[in-house]
Chains A and B, each alone.
Chain A
Amino acid sequence: MEEGQLRALIEQVRAGALSRRGFVQMMVGLGLTAPLAGQMLAGAGVAAAQTKVQYAPTKRGGGGALKILWWQSPTLLNPHFATGTKDQDGSRIFYEPLAAFDPDGNLVPILAAEIPSLQNGAVAKDGKSVTWKLKKNVVWHDGKPFTADDIVFNWEYAADPATAATTISSYKDIARIDKLDSHTVKLTFKNPTPFWSDGFCGYRGMIIPKHVFEAFKGAKSREAPANIKPVGTGPYKYVDFKPGDIVRGELNSTYHMPNRPHFDTIEMKGGGDAVSAGRAVVQTGEYDYAWNMQVEEEIMRRMEQGGRGKFETAPGGNIEHIQCNQTDPNKDVDGERSSIKAPHPFLTDPAVRQALSLLVDRASVQEEIYGRGGQATANFLNSPPKYVSKNNRWEFNVDKANQILDAAGWKRGADGIRAKGDKKLRMVYQTSINAPRQKTQAIVKQAAAKTGIELELKSVTASVFFSSDAANPDIYSRFSTDLQMYTTTQASPDPQTFMEQFASWEVSAKDNKYQGRNITRWRNDEYDKLFRAAETELDPVKRAALFIRMNDMVIQNVVVIPVIFRNKVQAVSSRLRGHEISGWDNDTANLFNWFRV
């Protein structure tokens, strides 16, 4: 889809011919993130429709206890140290960002008085600065006022490499933050920054108080008592925290939103497994909400029969995909396998990759394995077909794969396996140990066998597969096999970081201790140029068009084979309301709106 077509669509939204949500879904279908789509609309001056929240309670408190279950439990409550969603979700009970992302990717002001935009002049035309106005009358849990100083401090804290904050990438590109008055800050970026709502927004933007953490900036960051005893601005105040077990909070009587929160206490219990967490919500009603239900569809349906609760889904950005190695995993070049000096003997042949893509029966994978937990490459399926280029649709077609291989000169040998010269279509296909993945492997292997491709399946323990131990040949970033499969997360609201994993300078190699993110080692000059252009392109529509083209290149060249677009699945009590789960933010992002009927 070209820039012109995108502009036409935006005009349709403005004229009311296309719904805002429809537009966002279309963009997600093209491989963009919802926040980016929202930004395109905002840039064109289409007002963000304020999501109507059905919040019934008319007074603060009185809702009793809210009990939520996370089967992986938070281990620390400093959002700048969060190693995973669990820690961010736990921190979000107490801490808040300036703005949150709603399910459609719109920014919703939390600690900000309003959302900056080109129209209100808060976003600079050159993309080098943005001005945030903060809500007044917000106080920290200890009674101190929340001011612009806190914003400046969070930037200094997170951007300092000595602090070792996991949020550093959202803050290190801010050149300086000027405090214009006690409740206004101006962020100046080092380079023109098209996506300015990375720092201070969403799950990477939670703000910690300066007066509590000031003494613990940099090397002393670990010693802060508040790392496990949070003092925030959120709807609930800290009561107790046991790492790996439980987080407890009580109503914040000075919360900055009227009549909120509804519950008197909150308890986030951790540990156990997803299935029994689902049972505790949906079957016995012991708990009100459970996170990340990786449960088979059939089990979910059986649990729902009691009527005490149900499983809900929210599209997020997790894509289960198969990577095709562009380098030879069986040739050793200076002690390095899968080196870019040794191209893969046959996976560099587009015909073989095309055939492989046709052999992944995504419909069966979705129906039989993931159920409502995934959509067969929603990446291209979600949008109305007329907007999607024909080459980008997925298909499961063994005959067509056979034809492609025949045409490319791959002949079946006596053993039924195709070969060309001395090269045989025999591949090793690895993934981590996880029941749905092993089932998916089996489905692909079966189809491949029908076309004369022999797949040897390999599964590696997750803790080894995803480790960063460069000495271990089984880690995913070394990619010592022909094919491999795992889920990559696009949860960052902006696709730029996500798309960088196909840039040639990111190639994972021995020299960079396999820290590079380009695991397939695919290199393409045109792609690199598009990426460089997108980095500095300020027009959101032009930028989106660039990302769509990059996305198309990756798919049409079958660098990776997307399998399933995984949804966030959560178990919810049938009495819980107001929880509108956003795939682009934490599950607990709008906790202030939750209530029980």
Chain B
Amino acid sequence: MSRYVVRRLLIAVPVIFGISLVLFTILALAPGDPFEELATNPNVPPEVRMNLRAKFGLDDPLPVRYARWLTSMARGDWGFSFVSRVNVDTLIMQRLPTSLFVLGSAQLLGLLIALPIGTYSALRPYSLFDQIATTLAFIGFSLPTFFTGLVFILVFSLWLDWLPFIYRADIAATGWRWWWENARQAAMPVAVLGLFQGATLTRFVRSAVIDVIRLDYVNTARAKGLSEGVTVVKHVIRNALIPVVTLVALQIPGIFTGAVITEQIFRIPGIGSLLISSILANDTPVIMAITFVFSCLVVIFNLVADLLYGWLDPRIAYR
């Protein structure tokens, strides 16, 4: 097992290195300039822009820039944003809690919806409950989040005037009021993302449970006289969870990059909105940091998913 982990981690090193090289090259080849706004302003002499480019090392050849980025990254120095001149790690740390909170709650909401509904649907396939759940699930994941987001805003903010549609990371209140304000503003984005997530997962859970429930050992468990609840929870769900775990584990890195579109709609100051504004501003150090950390997380969580199989199903051996 530990040899397996070490081997996987060693393989990950060249993979991550390759990813960083590809990312850096693509960003360097993409058109645009972080000081573009200065270019169209007649009051700013071109020398200022040239000076800034030279100062931030943008005029050096690509291999030099990549080597510089790689060595400072290896030392733990993420560089600084060309736009705000703030260190990249500071920027990310400012945004991370919000993204983690919103997307984590959405993921949780999704699971809370999907597990009971999916299992119950599978236990009584083609019943009225299953039909309704399936229909709703299809509607849920066919509607893109930017659409449901706008519908929610229209209904809950503009018509009913119940919920705010602008998210503020730091609410100037304490105690219960703080919790209440946070819950109010997070309600819509969490619901939008959670329902989408839940709809997809429901289908997964349902098909996984249906696959397992027909197997012989489930019948054996029932024949032993185990109660239905114990049979389902201990024998069915545990085995059915394997594909679901993979899916969830692979979605966790996504929490880090944030939900780009939903964050734009609700003005959530998360990683997703930082990424999109950095891309629009050609702010290479920030884009590199976010995409690079994302790739690392994907690699790591793939490994985590593989290890979780072993825990859920002891028959799986690591070599």
- B235 within 8 A of partner (CB): no
Determine whether the beta carbon of B48 is less than 8 Å from that of A166: yes
Which of B31, B94, B170 contacts A248, CB < 8 Å? B170
Given the complex of chains A and B, what is the CA–CA distance between A168 and B51 in angstroms?
12
Q: Give A507-523 as 1s and 0s: 1 = Cβ < 8 Å from B's Cβ atoms.
A: 00000000101000000
Residue from B35, B44, B83, B282 with most neighbouring chain A CB atoms (10 Å): B44
Contacts A168-B48, A243-B91, A244-B277 given; indicate if A75 touches B84 (C-beta within 8 A).
yes
Chain A residues near B31 (CB-CB < 8 A): 461, 463-464, 467, 469, 472
Q: Can you name the residue of chain B whose Cβ is closest to the Cβ of A286?
A: B164
Asked if A76 CB lies within 8 Å of chain B CBs, one says: yes
Q: Collect the chain A residues with CB atoms within 8 Å of residue B164's CB.
A: 284, 286
Cβ of B49: which chain A residues have Cβ within 8 Å of it? 468
Asked if B294 is at the interface of the complex by the 8 Å CB criterion, the answer is no
B52 at interface by CB-CB < 8 Å: yes
A169-B44 contact, Cβ under 8 Å, with A271-B269, A463-B31, A468-B35: yes
Q: Tell me, yes or no, whether B41 is within 8 Å of chain A by CB.
A: yes
Q: Judge if A492 is at the interface, Cβ distance under 8 Å.
A: yes
> B153 CB to closest chain A CB, in angstroms?
8
A466 contacts the other chain (CB 8 A): yes
Q: A468 near B269 (CB under 8 angstroms)? A: no
- Collect the chain B residues with CB atoms within 8 Å of residue A284's CB: 157-158, 161, 164-165
Q: For window 474-494 of chain A, which residues contact chain B by CB distance below 8 Å?
A: 477, 486, 488-489, 491-492
The 8 Å CB contact of A468, one of B39, B45, B47, B161, is B39
CB-based contact A498/B84 at 8 Å: no
Alpha-carbon gap, A466 to B42, bound state (A) = 13
Instruction: Give the shortest distance, in Å, between A69 (CB) and chain B (any CB).
Output: 7
A84 at the interface (CB under 8 A from B): yes
CA distance A335 to B5 in the complex (A): 57
Q: Which of A260-314 contact B (CB under 8 A)?
A: 265, 267, 269-273, 276, 279-280, 283-284, 286-287
A246 contact set on B, CB distance < 8 A: 168-170, 269
Contact call A280/B166, Cβ cutoff below 8 A: yes
Q: How large is the interface on A (under 10, 10 to 19, 20 to 34, 35 or more residues)?
A: 35 or more
- Chain A nearest CB, measured from B275 CB (Å): 11
- Residue A245 interfacial (CB < 8 Å): yes
Structural contact, B42 and A492, CB atoms closer than 8 A: yes
CA distance A241 to B264 in the complex (A): 19
Instruction: Write out, one digit per residue, whether chain A residues 217-239 have a CB within 8 A of any chain B CB (1) or not (0).
Output: 00100100001100000000000
Please tell me if B315 contacts chain A, counting CB pairs below 8 Å.
no
- Complex Cα spacing A164 to B38, Å: 12
Q: Which residues of chain B are near A270, meaning CB under 8 Å?
A: 267
Which A114-147 residues sit within 8 Å CB-CB of chain B? none
Is B94 touching A242 in the complex (CB atoms < 8 A)?
A: yes
Compute how far the CA of A270 lies from the CA of B84 in the bound complex, rounded to whole angstroms: 14
Please determine whether B33 and A467 come into contact, CB atoms closer than 8 angstroms: yes
Query: What is the CA–CA distance of A531 and B29 in the complex, to the nearest angstrom?
Result: 40
Given contacts A69-B166, A228-B84, is CB(A164)–CB(B46) below 8 Å?
A: no
List which B73-115 residues lie within 8 A (CB) of chain A: 80-81, 83-86, 91, 94-95
Q: Which of B33, B44, B80, B84 has the most CB of A within 10 A?
A: B84
Contact pick for A271, options B32, B84, B267, CB 8 Å: B267
A81 beta carbon closer than 8 Å to chain B: yes
Say yes or no: B44 contacts A467, CB within 8 Å: no
Asked if A161 lies at the interface with its beta carbon under 8 angstroms from chain B, I say: yes
Interface centre among B33, B38, B80, B91 (most CB of A within 10 A): B33
User: A165 an interface residue at 8 Å Cβ cutoff?
Assistant: yes
How many A-B pairs have beta carbons closer than 8 Å: the answer is 149
- Within the complex, which residue of B32, B165, B264 is in contact with A464, where a contact is CB–CB below 8 Å? B32
A240 located at the interface, meaning its Cβ lies under 8 Å from any Cβ of chain B in the complex: yes
Residues of B within 8 A of A517 (CB): 42
B165 in contact with A280 (CB, 8 Å): yes
Report the interface size for chain B: residues with CB under 8 A from the other chain.
50
In the assembled complex, the Cα of A270 lies from the Cα of B51 at a distance in Å of: 29
Closest to B154 in A: A279
B47 touching A469, Cβ below 8 Å = no
Instruction: List the A residue with the shortest CB-CB distance to B34.
Output: A83
Is B166 within 8 A of A287, CB to CB? yes
Query: Is A204 at the interface (CB under 8 A from chain B)?
Result: yes
What's the nearest-Cβ distance from chain B to residue A119, in Å? 29
Bound state CA distance, A279 and B52, in angstroms? 38
Q: Which of A27-56 contact B (CB under 8 A)?
A: none
Instruction: Find residues 59-89 in chain A having any chain B CB closer than 8 Å to their own CB.
Output: 65, 69, 75-76, 81, 83-84
Say if the beta carbon of A501 comes within 8 Å of chain B: yes
Q: Contacts A243-B91, A244-B274, A280-B166; is A497 near B43 (CB within 8 Å)?
A: yes
Contact A83:B80 (CB < 8 A) given known A166-B48, A244-B274, A244-B277: no
Take A243-B86, A246-B169, A265-B172 as given contacts and tell me if A463 and B282 are in contact as well, using a CB distance cutoff of 8 Å: yes
Contacts of A244 in B (CB 8 A): 83-84, 91, 269, 273-274, 277
- Separation in Å of the A113 CB from the closest CB of chain B? 27
Which of A240, A467, A497 sits near B32, CB closer than 8 Å? A467
A166 touches B264 (CB 8 A): no
Q: How far is the CA of A283 from the CA of B47 in the complex (A)?
A: 45
Q: Kindly state the separation between the CA atoms of A492 and B265 in the bound complex, as whole angstroms.
A: 34
Q: Cβ of A472: which chain B residues have Cβ within 8 Å of it?
A: 31
A498-B42 in contact given A243-B86, A246-B269, A463-B32 (Cβ < 8 Å): yes
* Most chain B CB inside 10 Å of its own CB: which residue of A204, A219, A244, A477: A244
Q: Nearest chain A CB to B91's CB is how many angstroms away?
A: 6
Give Cα distance in the complex from A472 to B94, angstroms: 36
Distance (whole angstroms) from the CB of B161 to the closest CB of chain A: 6
Residues of A within 8 A of B36 (CB): 463, 466-468
B277 contact set on A, CB distance < 8 A: 244, 271
The answer for the CA separation of A245 and B263 in the assembled complex, in Å, is: 12
B38 near A271 (CB under 8 angstroms)?
A: no
- The complex places the Cα of A500 from the Cα of B35 at a distance, in Å, of 22
Pair A76/B170 contact, Cβ less than 8 Å:
no
- Contact A463-B280, Cβ < 8 Å, known A244-B269, A271-B264: yes
CA distance A279 to B153 in the complex (A): 11
Indicate with 1 or 0, residue by residue over B190-230, a CB within 8 angstroms of chain A CB atoms: 00000000000000000000000000000000000000000
B40 within 8 A of A: yes
Q: How far is the CB of A492 from chain B (nearest CB, A)?
A: 5
Do B42 and A161 touch across chains, with their CB atoms under 8 A apart?
no
Q: Which residues of A contact B47 (CB under 8 A)?
A: 161, 168
Q: List 16 A-B contacts (CB under 8 A).
A: A84-B41, A166-B38, A166-B41, A243-B86, A246-B168, A248-B170, A271-B264, A271-B273, A276-B165, A279-B158, A284-B164, A284-B165, A463-B280, A488-B42, A489-B40, A489-B41
Pick the 7 closest A-B CB pairs, nearest first.
A245-B269, A243-B84, A515-B46, A75-B84, A468-B39, A467-B33, A272-B267
Apart from the given pairs A76-B83, A164-B48, A245-B94, 11 other A-B contacts in the complex at a CB distance below 8 Å: A81-B85, A161-B47, A166-B44, A168-B47, A169-B45, A240-B170, A243-B83, A246-B170, A466-B40, A467-B31, A468-B39
